[in-house]
């Protein structure tokens, strides 16, 4: 039996510096008997030279289109919007299984070419938990930008939008910038921001909470949601102690929209949307002169999902233009951050964590027909293809 070939596709999305297979993981795959071809990737945080000693082969950028159909194409973000049929098996995030705009065009390319999509978002272990996710770093980065945007509003005129951002080499450099911004905002406002995190018990929410703690934010309202209720737990950190001490003064359950969003300085949405739920907020609920809310970071970024629980914006923002203003009848300024690749703010750390978590599944690709996680992924693909318009 000939070795299985993995072709690591170069990312083309602007400012996407992550990779699904880091040099460390490429070496482990080569040692396990895989042939690993890595496209030269000008955007990647990992220079080509880091792959040279792994046993992987460097190949031209974009060469995946012309390789034999039995090569498995591994990438992260969705493919560029083209129309040619896809003949390969692709392992990637495709964002087309939840009714997103253009889902049928994306799936149709695989159907027409005889290819297969093994969507990274839906790789689950035997307990239904995702085997690998960028959630932690998405929440971490989203909360960081939200706090910086809050401070920017306070320290700059409305005519100056929040500026473009670029990736950081490590978390400590990002934290230093966030702490500086928060202190500038506190000096102007006279208080630190309060932050509401919905979905804080998952990977993404934990990242958002950790960022807030490390940035020295005074209060974090931690919560989770299901299809009927929002559960709110107020956690307040002592500012008089050098250690972090947490208490739980109240827990409540109630339907939305939620006034806690309106009364917070920053709202970070970290839920994983799998079904229709009542909206967390609306233009009507936010149109009040007493609103404290100034920044919403929708880390979940279900912008085109018909069940988006934050129906106050309709476009994805970018690292170049991180925020979009929300038009409301009353209240002060409100901006949304809806960047769909937030972990690329910390591309090296995010990639290393994701790739390491994905490795056990990648090692099973050579026998994917009998490995549960890949069987399940292909079964889901077939089911979704079956819903394509005739």
Of 355, 359, 369, 308, nearest in space to 336 by CA: 308
Contact 136, 353 (CB under 8 A): yes
CB neighbourhood size of 48 (10 A) = 14
In the annotation, is 228 catalytic? no
Of 28, 87, 90, 95, the catalytic one is: 95
CA dihedral 119, 120, 121, 123 (to 10 degrees): 90
Of 183, 184, 195, 268, nearest in space to 225 by CA: 268
CB neighbourhood size of 289 (10 A) = 8
Tokens of 67: 């390789």
- Using CA atoms, how far residue 92 sits from 75, 222, 255, 266, in Å, is 5, 31, 36, 32
In the annotation, is 40 catalytic? no
Of 7, 77, 87, 90, the catalytic one is: 77
CA distance 227 to 273: 10
CA distance 13 to 77: 7
Tell me which residues are annotated as active site.
77, 95
């Amino acid at each position: 039996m000939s070795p299985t070939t993995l072709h690591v596709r170069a990312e083309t999305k602007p400012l996407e510096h992550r990779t699904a297979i880091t040099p460390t993981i490429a070496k482990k795959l080569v040692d396990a008997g895989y042939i690993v071809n890595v496209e030269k990737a000008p955007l990647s945080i990992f220079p080509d030279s880091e792959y040279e000693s792994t046993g992987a082969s460097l190949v031209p950028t974009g060469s995946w289109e012309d390789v034999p159909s039995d090569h498995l194409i591994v990438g992260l973000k969705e493919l560029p919007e083209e129309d040619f049929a896809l003949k390969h098996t692709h392992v990637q995030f495709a964002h087309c299984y939840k009714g997103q705009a253009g889902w049928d065009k994306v799936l149709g390319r695989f159907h027409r070419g005889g290819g297969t999509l093994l969507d990274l978002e839906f790789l689950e272990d035997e307990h239904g938990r995702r085997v690998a996710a960028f959630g932690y770093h998405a929440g971490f980065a989203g909360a960081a930008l939200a706090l910086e945007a809050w401070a920017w509003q306070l320290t700059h005129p409305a005519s100056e939008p929040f500026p473009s951002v670029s990736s950081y080499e490590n978390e400590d450099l990002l934290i230093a910038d966030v702490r500086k911004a928060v202190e500038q905002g506190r000096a102007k406002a006279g208080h630190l921001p309060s932050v509401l995190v919905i979905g804080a018990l998952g990977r993404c929410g934990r990242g958002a909470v950790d960022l807030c703690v490390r940035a020295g934010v005074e209060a974090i309202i931690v919560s989770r949601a299901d299809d009927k209720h929002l559960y709110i737990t107020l956690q307040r950190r002592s500012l008089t102690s050098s250690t972090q001490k947490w208490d739980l003064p109240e827990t409540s359950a109630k339907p939305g929209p939620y006034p806690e969003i309106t009364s917070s300085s920053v709202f970070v949405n970290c839920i994983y949307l799998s079904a229709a739920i009542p909206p967390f907020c609306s233009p009507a609920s936010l149109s009040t002169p007493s609103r404290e809310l100034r920044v919403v970071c929708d880390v979940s970024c279900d912008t085109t999902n018909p069940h988006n629980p934050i129906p106050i914006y309709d476009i994805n923002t970018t690292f170049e233009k991180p925020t979009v203003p929300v038009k409301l009848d009353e209240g002060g300024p409100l901006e949304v951050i809806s960047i769909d690749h937030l972990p690329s703010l910390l591309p090296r750390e995010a990639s290393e964590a994701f790739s390491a978590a994905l490795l056990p599944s990648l090692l099973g690709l050579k026998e994917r027909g009998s490995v549960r996680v890949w069987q399940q992924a292909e079964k889901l693909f077939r089911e979704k293809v079956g819903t394509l318009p005739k």
